[in-house]
């Protein structure tokens, strides 16, 4: 026999390999499939909870406001240092003017000295007025920076409150899913043992390669796996098969289980 012939023979042999399982075991397999489908749905729901997106969105917002607040506080600190410097500048001129005024009031010194002191007092008064304008401008900026920081602090508090609420909502939803998962998983072991090891192994192998669906009922002459209608040849083959023969769909290769709704 050539290579081609051997392959064909092997294919035929594997195709002819038939697993037998009592119809009640086959029906339990449908129950097991329902359990596994529900577990898959729950796992999917856990990953795609809308609460995940809400938490992520609020976290991004919170990070953004945190960054803005750090900048606003740095700016406020800088302006507050400018205020202190402007105040010190003004104080320096005031002190100097006070000293000059005291000397002038004491009347000591020559007429020339006194005239010079008066000149200096005039120019110090001008300088003080200029520096006070600077001080005022800086103080206004400090007020603005402080109000900006206060506003951001309020925003941060509000977003953190929302984030805490969203996180709690997500955790509640996760706990609910986990609880259902636990209940469904508890049923699985018992059902799997009723299916039996040989049928279970075949089912799990197919399920892995068929998007989670390893076994399906035939409903109204339609495969519940691929939804294709059985042709006349399939119907004849299935009708001729013993009740305990484990059938496979010719199209999708999934296990086909006969039920009273199969229309056969
Ligand atoms: Zn099919």
Contact 97, 125 (CB under 8 A): yes
How close is the Cα of 251 to the center of ligand 1, in Å? 5
Q: What is the pTM of this model?
A: 0.73
Q: What is the pLDDT of residues 144-155, one digit of tens each?
A: 999 999 999 999
Q: According to the model, what pLDDT value does residue 16 have?
A: 54
Mean pLDDT of 113-122: 94
Mean pLDDT of 120-135: 97
How close is the Cα of 250 to the center of ligand 1, in Å? 7
How close is the Cα of 39 to the center of ligand 1, in Å? 22
Q: What is the pLDDT of residues 188-222, one digit of tens each?
A: 999 999 999 999 999 999 999 999 999 999 999 99
**Who contacts 253 (Cβ-Cβ below 8 Å, separation ≥6)?**
206, 210
Rounded Cα gap, residues 262 and 221, in angstroms = 6
How close is the Cα of 7 to the center of ligand 1, in Å? 25
Rounded Cα gap, residues 46 and 53, in angstroms = 12
Mean pLDDT score across all residues of the chain: 93
How close is the Cα of 164 to the center of ligand 1, in Å? 48
Q: What are the helix and strand counts (H, E) for the chain? A: 6, 4
How close is the Cα of 202 to the center of ligand 1, in Å? 15
How close is the Cα of 228 to the center of ligand 1, in Å? 6
Contact 128, 52 (CB under 8 A): no
How close is the Cα of 219 to the center of ligand 1, in Å? 11
How close is the Cα of 225 to the center of ligand 1, in Å? 5
State the pLDDT confidence band at 9, using cuts at 50, 70 and 90: very low
How close is the Cα of 256 to the center of ligand 1, in Å? 8
How close is the Cα of 222 to the center of ligand 1, in Å? 8
How close is the Cα of 20 to the center of ligand 1, in Å? 19
Long-range CB contact pairs, 87-92, < 8 A, 24+: 87/135, 89/131, 89/134, 89/135, 90/128, 90/131, 90/132, 90/135
Query: What is the spatial order of strands in the sheet that 255-257 belongs to?
Result: 222-223, 215-219, 255-257, 247-248
How close is the Cα of 204 to the center of ligand 1, in Å? 16
Cα 209–Cα 211–Cα 216 angle in degrees, nearest 5: 95
Contact 123, 71 (CB under 8 A): no
Q: According to the model, what pLDDT value does residue 1 have?
A: 46
């Amino acid at each position: 026999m050539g290579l081609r012939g051997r392959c064909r023979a092997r294919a035929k042999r594997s195709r002819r390999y038939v697993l037998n399982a009592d119809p009640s075991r086959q029906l339990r397999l449908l129950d097991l499939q329902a359990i596994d489908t529900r577990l898959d749905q729950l796992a999917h729901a856990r990953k795609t909870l809308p609460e995940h997106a809400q938490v992520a969105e609020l976290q991004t917002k919170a990070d953004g406001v945190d960054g803005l607040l750090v900048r606003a506080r740095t700016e406020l600190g800088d302006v507050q240092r400018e205020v202190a410097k402007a105040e010190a500048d003004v104080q320096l001129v005031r002190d100097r003017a006070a000293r000059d005024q005291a000397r002038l009031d004491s009347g000591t010194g020559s007429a020339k000295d006194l005239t010079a002191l008066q000149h200096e007092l005039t120019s110090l008064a001008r300088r003080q007025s200029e520096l006070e304008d600077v001080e005022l401008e800086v103080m206004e900026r400090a007020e603005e920076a402080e109000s900006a920081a206060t506003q951001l602090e309020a925003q941060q508090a509000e977003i953190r409150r929302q984030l805490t609420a969203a996180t709690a909502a997500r955790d509640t939803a996760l706990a609910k899913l986990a609880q259902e998962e636990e209940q469904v998983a508890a049923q699985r072991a018992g059902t799997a043992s009723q299916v039996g090891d040989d049928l279970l192994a075949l089912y799990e192998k197919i399920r892995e390669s068929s998007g989670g669906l390893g076994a399906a009922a035939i409903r109204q002459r339609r495969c519940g796996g691929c939804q294709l209608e059985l042709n006349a040849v399939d119907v004849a083959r299935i009708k001729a098969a013993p009740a305990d023969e484990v059938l496979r769909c010719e199209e999708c290769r999934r296990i086909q289980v006969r039920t009273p709704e199969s229309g056969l």
